[in-house]
């Protein structure tokens, strides 16, 4: 079975600090896509960053970057210079190329303290 694991149910850091959210996944597929989504209190889901498994270069989007380790099946999200508006639930998600079925982690609640 294909699974996504987020081992940190909740994290809390001070504003302007850097924080890393962990995500590991299990699959036998070779081609797939990985995503981090942010869910603020409004409950809307916002795409933060995406990574194609065939690309070795880590994706970066402004203050957000990933550390993609394909052999270790790890896909962590780093948020630099954290801001109060980063407070949200963060979900790691995975889409295998074979069936395009979204598979989600349980989420990490991130709190940025002033």
Partner 1 sequence: SQTIHQWPATLVQPVGSPLSLECTVEGTSNPNLYWYRQAAGRGLQLLFYSVGIGQISSEVPQNLSASRPQDRQFILSSKKLLLSDSGFYLCAGEARLNTEAFFGQGTRLTVV
Question: Which ranges in 31-85 belong to alpha helices (H)?
Answer: none
Among 48, 77, 86, 107, binds partner 1 (CB under 8 A): 107
Which stretch of DSSP H or E encloses residue 57? none
Which stretch of DSSP H or E encloses residue 19? strand 19-21
Q: Does 47 bind partner 1 (CB under 8 A)?
A: yes
Q: Please, which residue, 17 or 87, has the CB nearer to partner 1?
A: 87
Q: Does 64 bind partner 1 (CB under 8 A)?
A: no
Stretch that binds partner 1, among 13-21, 29-37, 56-64, 70-78 (CB under 8 A): 29-37
Sign of the Cα torsion 72, 75, 23, 66 reads positive
Q: Does 91 bind partner 1 (CB under 8 A)?
A: yes
Among 35, 36, 68, 75, binds partner 1 (CB under 8 A): 35
Residue 109: strand pairing partners: 10, 89
Sign of the Cα torsion 4, 5, 6, 9 reads positive
Q: Please, which residue, 44 or 62, has the CB nearer to partner 1?
A: 44
Helix/strand number for the chain, H first, E second: 0, 12
> Which residues in this chain contact partner 1 in the complex, by CB under 8 A?
33, 35, 37, 43-45, 47, 50, 91, 93, 95, 100-102, 104-107
């Amino acid at each position: 079975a294909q699974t996504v694991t987020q081992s940190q149910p909740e994290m809390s850091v001070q504003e302007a600090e850097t924080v890393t959210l962990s995500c590991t996944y299990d699959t036998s597929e070779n081609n797939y896509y990985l995503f981090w989504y942010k869910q603020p209190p409004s409950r809307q889901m916002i795409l933060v960053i995406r990574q194609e498994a065939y690309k070795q270069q880590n994706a970066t989007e402004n203050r957000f970057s990933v550390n993609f380790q394909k052999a270790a099946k790890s896909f962590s999200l780093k948020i630099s210079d954290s801001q109060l508006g980063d407070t949200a639930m963060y979900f790691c998600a995975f889409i295998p190329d074979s069936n395009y079925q979204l598979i989600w982690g349980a989420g990490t609640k991130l709190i940025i303290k002033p």
